[in-house]
Amino acid sequence: MTFSTKANALWEYANPKKFLATTERVLPFFWASAAACLAVGLIWGFFFTPDDYRQGATVKIIYLHVPAALLAINAWFMMLLTSLIWLIRRHHVSALAARAAAPVGVVMTLIALATGAIWGQPMWGTWWAWDPRLTSFLILFLFYLGYIALWEAIENPDTAADLTSVLCLVGSVFAILSRYAVNFWNQGLHQGASVMRIEAVTGGDTQEKVSNVFFYPLLVCIVGFVLLFVALVLYRTGTEIRARRIRALLARERVGA
Amino acid sequence: MTLTVTDLSIARGGIPVLQGLGFDLRPGTALVVRGPNGIGKTTLLRTLAGLQPPLSGHITGAEDTIAYAGHSDGIKPTLTVTENLTFWASVFGTAEIRPALEAFELNDLATRHAGNLSAGQKRRLGLSRLLVTGRPIWVLDEPTVSLDVSAVAMFATAVRAHLSQGGCALIATHIDLGLDAAVLDVGPFRAKPRPVTDFDGDFL
Amino acid sequence: MTLTVTDLSIARGGIPVLQGLGFDLRPGTALVVRGPNGIGKTTLLRTLAGLQPPLSGHITGAEDTIAYAGHSDGIKPTLTVTENLTFWASVFGTAEIRPALEAFELNDLATRHAGNLSAGQKRRLGLSRLLVTGRPIWVLDEPTVSLDVSAVAMFATAVRAHLSQGGCALIATHIDLGLDAAVLDVGPFRAKPRPVTDFDGDFL
Amino acid sequence: MIALLLRDLKLAFRAGGGFGLGLAFFLIVTVMVPFSVGPQSALLSTIAPGVLWLGALLACLLSLDRLLALDWEDGSLDLLATAPLPLEAVVTIKALAHWITTGLPLVLAAPVLGVLLNLPVAGFSWLVVSLLVGTPALSVIGTFGAALTVGLKRGGLLLSLLVLPLYVPTLIFGAEAARRGAVGMDTGTPMLMLAGITAATVALLPFASAAVLRVNLR
Amino acid sequence: MIALLLRDLKLAFRAGGGFGLGLAFFLIVTVMVPFSVGPQSALLSTIAPGVLWLGALLACLLSLDRLLALDWEDGSLDLLATAPLPLEAVVTIKALAHWITTGLPLVLAAPVLGVLLNLPVAGFSWLVVSLLVGTPALSVIGTFGAALTVGLKRGGLLLSLLVLPLYVPTLIFGAEAARRGAVGMDTGTPMLMLAGITAATVALLPFASAAVLRVNLR
Amino acid sequence: MMPELGKYADTVLSAYVASIALLGLLVVVSLWRGRRVRAEMKEIEERAARNG
Ligand code: HEM
Ligand SMILES: Nc1ncnc2c1ncn2[C@@H]1O[C@H](COP(=O)(O)OP(=O)(O)OP(=O)(O)O)[C@@H](O)[C@H]1O
Ligand SMILES: Nc1ncnc2c1ncn2[C@@H]1O[C@H](COP(=O)(O)OP(=O)(O)OP(=O)(O)O)[C@@H](O)[C@H]1O
Ligand SMILES: [Mg+2]
Ligand SMILES: [Mg+2]
């Protein structure tokens, strides 16, 4: 009983107007706390952490790289979830939230890729290696691009929501499949193409204390990125809702004319 | 096989175009749908054919009984006239294409590639497809486009024969077909805009 | 700007369809081309427009004076109505699209993407293109397809205005346009098959 | 259903040979590789299995955009959707017709092109087997992409963008199997995965394709 | 003329980005190469210049079939042919629009993709220069192919078949220049030939394209 | 105030600059489009209300 009322209360936010009103109220909080966490985390990480014994100052990149990588993946999961909600319960806000999240996901993927590439140059001696993790990220990037391109290409919003949702579903399955395929592929002929595995360079297991030194600011940064993500998605969803409303109003004018 | 439509509202591109439509189409009768350009005739016919869902309202008797012919004919230019017809005949599980060829005087063109037909000849081929569907309800969108006078007469004859066998037909057209049919003017059913304040309603 | 056609023979797909055609089209007059489906009207108009060469015979006065409108409209679905018209206006070097929009009551649709128009609205846009060409001779192939009664009247008005400004028009159609125009029935000009023994002739 | 398959095959042949052209593209891509990477035979024979798989994939991909688009443009899809034939069957048949006109000829031609690229002798049989097992998945996945983009003008490139990441697992396992075969390694795992992918996509994806096609038709 | 160019560019953007998608295909082809030939970076860096040239060529090729086909289908070409604009100008503008929406983005993206394939540092500038000089030829030759096949249903693959052999010289000299650049050799001769091909095709081929287009229209 | 980044100064700084630029761009674009859409909706709503 309690569960169902709670669930119903949650679904109420699928009402566009209510969603807008609520986000209007909570957004300032999200913006502010995201900014605060990011500022604290990044300044802490950048100015007040020591260099790693093997990686030197480059370890500071971790404060951007890891949160971005985390969010890049989780943004896709969020899109998968909201797509499912759209397909099953047909709440428009849900579909629009997926649409709003995709560009944020792309930027996160890009940041992870860019910082990784910049990091790889001194660490591995190359900008890019076909390491399984990097490769599956690249594939994720392609999935994002396709998803966004499909949204942009279709005019009717409901059609677009349906098609992109199915694409997100099918794409998720294939993305996971790709991950396994890529893992298999790069162990295949060439074992350990990159000597420095990602796990090896954090030094997490050997140097507990150093790890903590890096860990806390990293945690703050992750929280900051998550808050920023939430703020951006809520804000952008509001924008998408209004854009849809504009479409409907224009159509209405046309019918009236 | 009566097609019954009650309180139907339909939308195109997410925008309501017609609302409150209701009519019966009984065996042996034809109904001509009229209305100015852009009112929503094509949308109505596509909805009846099951190609798009209605916004609200009910359609009964449309399941697997409708043969639809829209603005485009579904004709393959690289197949001959016979091959085109035979294909549709076997999709609909009917065997005989001879009557269809005869009804639209296509015998002389039977071995021609459909791509080499003139506009009117192509249209005649498209219409002859209706005869091989074996479906009782014909839903036709401007069927006589490009047809000359004698071909329009052929079409009228085909429709009359279909009606006399207990079929029925719903035809959207701007011209006079010479058929003895009731007329449904959809003009008065134009969808009224929702009030501006109906924020959520805009999401249908 | 008189269009003169003498002893014209034309072919489609290598097969002669009409022969011995001749007529004059003087400024201020319209000529309606009639004939059964498949006789060769479209072929004739395409020949006059310079899209295909005649088999034999002469056409004078057609160079750079003809605005042709065929079965397809040349409308880009992803451009708006205004953008479509503006494009053609600048290709033909005319600046003003307002009169064209007004003549076919397209003002309300001006900002719509052409892909979202109904069949008749699209056709109206296609016809309004004629007004921005600034060409004196209109060569039109079944221009009123899909148009409702009021749109056909708009078209007739536009043609009349064009004629009164010294233009002329050649229109192939199967229906009555309500225009005061001479009629050219191309039926009698159907090409006679060559004797079977004329081996070389088959290579034209 | 058979009528639809026969019609699609007939259309492919009539239109100047769906057969010949898919093949020709495969041939030309393969021929272009030496022009672009240089003619050293050791290098070519190393990359041969991969290039042949990639070529087959691209040849498949290029023919996808006409898979449903032609039927959409001339209204046939509307009519098929109202015909007494479930849309799932329609897309399955379409995929099958695509495979017969594109995938199968590629499989048959691959050994010949292998010669051009100095494919090691041991590699031929595995190349053919992996292509035979893998190409049906390419056709089915491609049909899904075609169904997604069918209503869109200029869908061709969008189609590629959507379909290529979906092709990644098939390509990886297929090329890996061919590559391992060529150097005499065990091909068990990749072949198994490849067969699994094909079986799963053939069994499940037509439902997704039919669903999106239905959305696109309305 | 400018109106036509602007319209074509506008259409390319409207249709979901003629830009983005040509690029995306290039990106994806490049990404697929390691999946098919394996991830060894030494091997990849050897074949990188060739693969990038081939990828650019295929990306160009893929977008060709819509170059004239859309205008043909909706009757615009008929109307353009009767407009006061020589058909030679029309095909030149079409080729230019194609280059701006496809060739140019490819040139700009090539260095980024070079990173993915471990292209040697010395190779970047030559890759970009050779693509910049060579892609206009690809667009012009492609326009010729498109004009040849415009009336045909399913012309897409036939188009590839006709155009690919015509692309061979451009590809050979372009890839050779990029390859030599990557290993620090002299690139004079291939660059010269490449420039020559581009100049000659740009100057002469539009006449041929206009001629075949005129034939196809009647 | 600047910490000693040693030989990796370029690397670390460029990573920070690139990431922050990308994030900033995303935020700015989102806000800009949000503002525009909001204003446009308001305008259209008012126009619709006026015209009944
Ligand atoms: C373009 C290249 C790169 C990409 C796409 C990439 C991607 C990723 C991904 C997906 C994660 C996982 C995040 C998570 O699950 O928590 C990650 C974590 C990490 N990456 Fe990278 N990475 C790249 C390059 C690098 C380089 C060059 C280094 C350092 C030498 C590096 C160091 C790390 C570290 C330390 C972590 C966190 C520890 C862990 O989760 O194991 N990455 N990266
Ligand atoms: N994709 C779309 N998005 C928005 N509106 C559309 C779309 N397609 C069509 N419309 C509009 O929907 C309305 C109904 O179109 P429909 O094709 O049903 O009209 P119709 O009655 O068949 O007209 P005609 O007699 O001209 O064929 C038209 O006003 C049209 O402009
Ligand atoms: N490619 C072709 N090859 C051979 N014959 C063709 C070809 N295209 C058309 N035809 C034939 O040429 C004749 C003339 O066609 P045309 O389109 O000019 O007729 P039309 O008078 O415009 O007819 P409609 O009123 O039906 O439009 C027709 O009989 C047609 O079947
Ligand atoms: Mg209509
Ligand atoms: Mg005609």
Q: Kindly report, residue by residue over E167-188, the tens digit of the pLDDT.
A: 989 998 998 888 888 887 877 8
User: What would the 3-class secondary structure string for chain B be?
Assistant: CCEEEEEEEEEECCEEEEEEEEEEECCCCEEEEECCCCCCHHHHHHHHCCCCCCCEEEEECCCCCEEEECCCCCCCCCCEHHHHHHHHHHHCCCCCCHHHHHHCCCHHHCCCEHHHCCHHHHHHHHHHHHHHHCCCEEEEECCCCCCCHHHHHHHHHHHHHHHHCCCEEEEECCCCCCCCCEEEECHHHECCCCCCCCCHHHHC
Please name the member of B72, B79, B91 whose beta carbon is closest to the beta carbon of D85. Answer: B91
B145: in domain: yes
Q: Examine the pLDDT at D34 and tell me if it is beyond 90.
A: no
Give C108 to chain A, closest Cα distance, Å.
Answer: 8
Tokens of E75: 């009757």
Q: How many domains are there within chain B?
A: 1
Q: What pLDDT does C191 receive?
A: 81
User: What's the CA gap between B41 and B17, in Å, rounded?
Assistant: 9
- CA distances E106 to A69, B80, D140, E136, Å, are 28, 43, 30, 11
Taking the C-alpha atoms of residue D177 and residue D175, their distance in angstroms, rounded to an integer, is: 5
Nearest residue on chain A to F24, alpha-carbon basis: A107
CB A84 within 8 A of CB A165: yes
User: In terms of C-beta density within 10 A (0-12 exposed, 13-18 middle, 19 or more buried), how is residue D208 classed?
Assistant: buried
Task: Looking at the CA of residue A155, tell me the nearest atom of ligand 2.
Answer: 1
Q: Is the CB of B40 under 6 A from ligand 2?
A: yes
What would the two tokens of residue D156 be?
């061709």
In A, minimum Cα distance to B200 occurs at A16
Atom 9 in ligand 2: which residue has the minimum CA distance? C116
Q: C121 in ligand 2 pocket by Cβ < 6 Å?
A: yes
Q: Which residues pair with C12 in a beta bridge?
A: C15
Q: Any idea how long chain E is? A: 218
3-state DSSP percent of chain D in helix, strand and coil, to 5:
85, 0, 15
Q: How far apart are CA C55 and CA C43, in angstroms?
A: 12
Mean pLDDT in residue range C25-39: 88
Cα A225 to Cα A220: distance, rounded to the nearest angstrom: 9
Using a CB-CB cut-off of 8 Å, the residues of chain F touching B196 are 45, 48-49
**Whether ipTM exceeds 0.95:** no
In this model, does residue C125 exceed pLDDT 50? yes
Taking the centre of ligand 5 as the mean of its atom positions, its distance from the CA of residue F50, in whole angstroms, is: 49
* Rounded to 5°, angle at Cα A171 from A165 and A177: 150
Q: Are D158 and D126 a contacting pair, CB within 8 Å?
A: no
Task: Domain of residue A138: give its range.
Answer: 27-49+58-186+211-256
Which pair of structure tokens corresponds to residue C114? Answer: 């052409």
Q: How many CB pairs under 8 A join C and E?
A: 68
The answer to whether B200 faces chain A, any CB pair under 8 Å, is yes
- Separation between Cα atoms, residue E199 and residue B19, nearest integer Å: 62
CA–CA dist A220, A109 (Å, integer) = 20
Ligand nearest to the CA of A129: 1
Q: Is the CB of C120 under 6 A from ligand 2?
A: yes
Q: How far apart are the C-alpha atoms of C83 and C129, rounded to whole Å?
A: 11
Least confident of C51-65, C155-169, E81-95, E144-158: E144-158
CA B96 centroid distance within chain: 22
Please, do chains D and B touch (3+ CB pairs < 8 Å)?
yes
CA-closest residue to ligand 1 atom 39: A199
In a domain, B192, yes or no: no
R_g (Cα) of chain B, nearest Å: 18
Q: Give the C-alpha separation, D40 to D18, whole Å.
A: 33
- How many domains in chain A? 1
Distant-in-sequence, close-in-space partners of A120: CB < 8 Å, separation ≥ 6? A126, A127, A128, A129
- The tens digit of pLDDT for each residue in B126-148 reads 999 998 888 899 999 989 888 88
Whole-number pLDDT of residue A193: 32
d(CA A131, CA A187): 9
Q: How far apart are CA A221 and CA E203, in angstroms?
A: 58
Contact map slice: A 29-88 vs F, CB within 8 A: 42, 46-47, 51, 56-58, 60-61, 64-65, 68
CA E57 to chain CA centroid, nearest Å: 6
Containing structural domain, residue C122: 28-53+63-184
The pTM for the full model equals: 0.87
At residue D91, the 3 state secondary structure works out as helix
DSSP H or E segment with residue A168? helix A157-188
Domain count, chain E: 1
Cβ–Cβ gap C76/E83 under 8 Å? no
Q: Which residue of F has its CA nearest to B199?
A: F45
Q: Tell me the CATH number at C124.
A: 3.40.50.300
- Residue B164: predicted pLDDT: 92
Residue B21 has pLDDT above 70, yes or no: yes
Contact at CB, A255 and B13, closer than 8 angstroms: no
E153 at B interface, C-beta within 8 A: yes
Cα(A29)–Cα(E199) distance, integer angstroms: 61
- Across the range F26-31, mean pLDDT stands at 94
Its domain, for residue E178, covers 2-216
**Residue B119 beta carbon below 6 angstroms from any ligand 3 atom:** yes
Surface-to-core class of residue F4, CB atoms within 10 Å of its CB (0-12 exposed, 13-18 middle, 19+ buried): exposed
Which has the closest alpha carbon to D48: E38, A25, E159?
E38
Which of A139, A166, A181 lies at the smallest CB-CB distance from D208? Answer: A166
Beta-sheet strands, E only, within chain A: none
Question: Phi, psi at residue C185, to the nearest 5°?
Answer: -90, 115
C119 Cβ closer than 6 Å to some ligand 2 atom: yes
* Beta carbons within 8 Å of E162's beta carbon, 6+ residues apart: E145, E148, E149
With a cut of 80, say whether residue E65 has pLDDT above it: no
Contact of A152 with A208, CB cutoff 8 Å:
no
Report the alpha-carbon distance of residue C171 to residue C49 in Å, rounded.
Answer: 13
D198 pLDDT band, cuts 50/70/90, is very high
Mean pLDDT of E12-20: 65
The residue with greater pLDDT, D142 or D11, is D142
pLDDT 10s digit of each residue in chain A, 257 long? 344 455 566 666 678 888 888 888 999 999 999 999 988 888 888 877 776 666 667 778 888 898 999 999 999 999 999 999 999 988 888 999 999 999 999 999 999 999 988 888 887 777 787 888 888 888 999 999 999 988 988 888 888 999 999 999 999 999 998 888 888 887 643 333 333 334 444 444 444 444 666 778 888 899 999 999 999 999 999 999 999 888 888 777 766 65
Q: How far is the CA of D171 from the centre of ligand 1 (A)?
A: 25
Domain of residue A109, CATH code: 1.20.120
Residue C150 contacts B where some CB pair is shorter than 8 Å: yes
Average pLDDT of the residues of chain E = 84
* Residues in Cβ contact with C140 at an 8 Å cutoff, skipping those fewer than 6 apart: C45, C68, C69, C130, C169, C170, C171, C172, C173
